[in-house]
Chains A and B, each alone.
Chain A
Amino acid sequence: AQSVTQLGSHVSVSEGALVLLRCNYSSSVPPYLFWYVQYPNQGLQLLLKYTSAATLVKGINGFEAEFKKSETSFHLTKPSAHMSDAAEYFCAVSRGGGNKLTFGTGTQLKVEL
């Protein structure tokens, strides 16, 4: 069985500061990993995905994530936060070859002036 743990249900940063959202996974097989963003009253939008190619994955809106097998982590980063980044972020894992996603409980990102 696979699962993901997102550390910190709420994260607050200043505009222009580094964004770091943490995700650790457990999986018995090499995983596929995803980050989704949800803006208020909307569905989920894919930010980026890791599917066993490059370990550093770049996504939309300046976000990137690094797959670290030794740490079983897939943390999401952005060098400089913008007010428009305020949203809820979900990490998800899928078994390679499977088509079901298991989601973390989400991290609400607040960006302050």
Chain B
Amino acid sequence: NAGVTQTPKFQVLKTGQSMTLQCAQDMNHNSMYWYRQDPGMGLRLIYYSASEGTTDKGEVPNGYNVSRLNKREFSLRLESAAPSQTSVYFCASGQGSYEQYFGPGTRLTVT
């Protein structure tokens, strides 16, 4: 099992460019999540999907959109990147006893 995979691992964007971060899990989990991690702030929830076909805003959704493509895949889109979106992005999945399993992360720099 690969667990949770994320692509790309690194990305540099110019202000105003768009991109989509991809996430896939092979653990048959119902729930999937997108977080951003910034120094001294821990992980903050951007969006989540409790089950296929549903998505909800987290703590910091502004500037992002998501798509739950199917049970395995959950993508995060930045329509017009801003320097404030420079961060490390983590995807996670979970089910049952509420623990979440994390991907390796995407390091995004917006110049």
Q: Which residues of A contact B (CB under 8 A)?
A: 9, 32, 34, 36, 41-46, 49, 51, 90, 94, 98-101, 103-106
Contacts and interface: CB of A to CB of B under 8 A. Distances in A.
B41 A105 contact: yes
Nearest to B103: A43
Contact of B102 (A44, A51, A100, A105): A44
A46 to B, nearest CB: 5
Contact of B45 (A32, A34, A100): A100
Interface residues of B, number: 24
Contact of B90 (A32, A43, A49): A43
Contacts of A94: 98
7 contacts: A32-B97, A43-B90, A44-B90, A99-B98, A100-B48, A101-B98, A103-B44
A26 to B, nearest CB: 15
Q: Classify the interface of chain B: helix, strand, loop or mixed.
A: strand
Given A43-B103, A94-B98, A99 B31 contact: yes
Given A49-B99, A99-B48, A103-B42, 11 more contacts: A42-B105, A44-B102, A45-B102, A46-B101, A51-B97, A98-B98, A99-B98, A100-B48, A101-B100, A105-B41, A105-B42
Interface in B79-107: 90, 92, 94, 97-105
Q: Classify the interface of chain A: helix, strand, loop or mixed.
A: loop
B61 interface: no
Which of A45, A94, A101 gathers most chain B CB within 10 Å?
A101
Contacts of A106: 40, 42
A43 B89 CA distance: 10
A57 B99 CA distance: 15
B103 to A, nearest CB: 5
Contacts of A42: 104-105
B69 interface: no
Interface string B37-74: 00011111100101000000010000000000000000
Nearest to A49: B99
Contacts of A41: 105
